[in-house]
Each structure stands twice: as C-alpha cells, then as structure tokens.
Amino acid sequence: MAEISDVFFVDGMRTPFGRAGEKGMYWNTRADDLVVKAIIAVLERNPAIPKDRIDEVAVAATTQQGDQGLTLGRTTAILAGLPQSVPGFAIDRMCAGAMTSVTTLGSGIGFGAYDLALAGGVEHMGRHPLGAGADPNPRFLTEKLVSPDALDMGVTAERLHDRFPALTKERADRFGMRSQHRTQAAYEAGKLQPDLVPVAVKDASGAWGIASDDEGRRPETTMEGLASLRTPFRAHGRVTAGTASPLTDGATMSLLAGAAAAKEFDLKPKMRMVSFAFSGVEPEVMGLGPVPATEKALRKAGLRIGDIGLFEINEAFAVQVLAFLEHFGIADDDARVNQWGGAIAIGHPLAASGVRLMIQLAAQFAERPDVRYGLTTMCVGLGQGGSVIWENPHYDGKKR
C-alpha cells in the first residue's frame, strides 16, 4: 500500500543560460540535447541511484514544437540513457513549467506513487519564440476576456508601474543594477559554477567550444547607463532591457526523492518541500501572481512571511519583484532576497527557470544553517503565480 511521504529536493543542475538568437551560444544546439546534458549531469553526481529506479521524468517547455516537442520527458530520458522502462511526459505552465514539474512529481512522491523522479524544464527561445505557432481562441478578444496585449509581458510590466506609482523607474533601475552586481559577485565567489553543466557548442563558423557560464551577464551596469535605455513597450515608459529578463536559452533538471528512497540510497537531500501553491490573477497584471500564490502557500504551511529566511524570486521584470516586496513590507535591497542575483542578469528561459530558483536556494541553505525556511516564487504568463516553500535540512536553530 502506498504511504504518505516527505518530498525531498536531492539535487539540481542546469546548463549555463545563453542569449537567444543567432548570436547566442546555443543557436546550433538542440533544445532536447540541453535537457539530456542536465539529466546526465544530475545522475552522474548521484551515482548511488540505479537508473532503473527512476519512476518518472517530467520536462516542461512553453512552446512545445520542433526539438522541444514530442513528449520531452520520455524522449530525453531515452536520449540520456535511462532504461526504456522509465516513463516520462511533457508539461506546460509557461514560466512556471519546471516549477510545476517539481510540484507535480513531488505530489506523486508525497502520495507514495513514486520513490525517485526527475523534474525540469527547457526553453530555446532562439529556436522557439514565445507563442510561436499558437492560435489563441478568438473568444479571448471578441468577448473581452483578456486585453489584446495580455501576452505582451513588457506591457503587463508597464501596467504594474501604472497601478503602483510608488514603484518608480528609478527603483526598478536600481534593482536591475543590483541584480547584475550580485550575480557577478556570486560568480567571483564561485557560488553558481558548481551546479552548471558545461555544454559543447558549435558557432556559426563551425568551430566547437564550451559553454561554461551564463552568457547574458552585464556586470558593468550603472544607473546612468540604465537611465539612457529606451522603453520598447511604451513611449516614455519605465520598463527597459535593463529591468527585464533577456530572451534566453537553457535547461534545468532536479532529482526528487521520497523518505524511503532517501534512506535506501543514503541520499543527503538539499531541501524538503513544505508546501506549494499556484494562483490566478488578471492576465493584464500577471506580475502580481507571486503575491496570492505565496499567501496561499504560507497558509497551507502554517507560516508567515516573517518565517521565510531566504527568497528566490524570478526576475521576469524588476517592477514585478518590487510589487511583491512592497506587498510584504520587504526592502528593495533586503539581503535575504536574490542574494546571488537573478533572471535580469542570469536569464529567464521560461519553462526552465523554476528549477534554477531551487538550485540557488538549495546552495544557499547549505551555507545558512541559521535559516529554516526559504521560498521560490515566480509570476506566470496569462495571469498566474507559483510559490514553493522549502525547509533547510541543515537548520540548527542557532542565530548568527
């Protein structure tokens, strides 16, 4: 009989994130091959786990076509050398795809249906731009269910500035600059590199090289430089390339386990899942999604926002993070929030990003035994938010 189990994040790895487009490092690399690299790396780092004991593989992608279509969980499992007895499936919740892969398979582990699972996501936005090939139902517009530009994420970010005048362009610029500087500091301290999977890549001339770090970083960013950038989503607007996540290619993968499997294979989990929640908001202000999702996850966990010691908030746009912080009374520069930078600097390959947040939180937990709970949260296109609360297995109850 299946038994209710704790759900553990055992490990996670990702490819370096690359700029989307012909000049990006992954232009000649297939999306599914990026996933395969991440799967192989996670399993190689956890050699005690027999491949035939993986119960399920879930891989998310937002634009499921071409080399990131065809039931990615199953195809990439086969390509990564897992036995054909291992099943897999694809999943889509736009930006929260990988997060949903984790919560879906985590739910299966909690219910007792799975012992071990692989959950991740990929987005090759160079090959597959957001919404490519989609055919939205005309009722969305004819019945005015959503605004015509609800899928233009930059416009939704501008609306947050409209709705909350206190969230000024200057505050957003400063947050964007801080993301770049924190990411660079994390690189210089060697914080991010241990969880990156090097990828062999071929450039336009046919020469081979190695993608070993995130391509879109701009550590030289200054407030003066940000102030001079154009506002592409609205004339005289407030959202710029410096306060938005760039179009990005990349893949992430996590290894999840139940309590029995963790004991059987003597695993050392990096986090325990406490609760999760998804919530809907108006698509026109999709950046607000993390607020109700987090409130819901906190209620389910019996916690308050003050119990959260570390935050990993996906930086789709600076203003969206600021709206979350403002709601919960957290300072823009709070050291608990995105301490190693975020998507403005690292990149946001849509469906892959949720597991990147988890990878960074897990690494921070290892350094912070004084912190018991952490949060990964993100906004989602079409008006949603997703949040997962995690417990630190290294917590020792001692304040530092």
Name which of 174, 184, 186 is nearest 225 in CA terms. 174
H-helix or E-strand spanning residue 276: strand 271-280
Cα separation, 230 vs 298, in Å, equals 38
In angstroms, what CA-CA distances link 60 with 76, 158, 211, 343? 11, 28, 22, 18
Residue with tokens 């949720």: 354
222, 252 in Cβ contact below 8 A? no
Paired residues of 287 in beta bridges: none
Q: Annotated catalytic sites, by residue?
A: 95, 348, 379
Tell me the DSSP string of 84-129: TT--EEEE--GGGHHHHHHHHHHHHHHHTS-SEEEEEEEEETTTS-
2 token code pair: 């299946």
Three-state helix/strand/coil letters over 166-230: CCCHHHHHHHHHHHHHHHHHHHHCCCCHHHECCEEEECCCCCEEEECCCCCCCCCCCHHHHHCCC
Let me know if 362 is exposed, middle or buried by CB neighbors in 10 A (0-12, 13-18, 19+). buried
